[in-house]
Amino acid sequence: MSKTQLTQQLATTLADTYALYLKTQNYHWHVKGPNFKSLHELFEEQYNGLAAAVDEIAERILMLGGRAPATFTEFNELKSISDGDSAATANQMVVGLHADHVTMATNLKKVLETAQQLDDEGTVALLSERISAHEKISWMLGASQE
């Protein structure tokens, strides 16, 4: 593995993180039903965390000498996270976001392996933090499903 491969993997991670940020914010705006207040607040907490992660991941790419994708076109080409449906029910939103966070944790573990092979402790630390965050969020969303 090379540093270039790592920055490419991080670019995909950035695109997926941004896509999940946008999806979560969409659901924050459009959630309805008896669990509105708790989900509205939960989604806000989550998208704020994702916004901070977007910045951290982009900066890490730049520190490694790469170029961070920064347009919707670039994100769309790289992302694996699907767009959110603002007409989804509250439970569909929760179920979908849960699956997305599980996917993120799984994908991040693959990028972590690359960073470990390159002895890149800064990226390892960032990825470990992100994996932990996605695992916690997926647990919270899993517990919130009807």
Domain count, the chain: 1
User: From the CA atom positions of the chain, what is the Rg in Å?
Assistant: 15
The per-residue DSSP string of the chain comes to --HHHHHHHHHHHHHHHHHHHHHHHHHHHH--STTHHHHHHHHHHHHHHHHHHHHHHHHHHHHTT-----SHHHHHHH--SPPP-TTS-HHHHHHHHHHHHHHHHHHHHHHHHHHHHTT-HHHHHHHHHHHHHHHHHHHHHHHH--
Task: Give residue 9's domain range.
Answer: 3-144
* pTM for this model (two decimals): 0.96
pLDDT tens figures, 63-112? 999 999 999 999 999 999 999 999 999 999 999 999 999 999 999 999 99
8 Å CB contact between 107 and 16: yes
The reported pLDDT for the residue numbered 47 is: 97
The reported pLDDT for the residue numbered 10 is: 98
8 Å CB contact between 20 and 100: yes
pLDDT tens figures, 12-32? 999 999 999 999 999 999 999
Residue 56, class by beta-carbon neighbours within 10 Å (0-12 exposed, 13-18 middle, 19+ buried)?
middle
CATH number at residue 127: 1.20.1260.10
The reported pLDDT for the residue numbered 44 is: 97
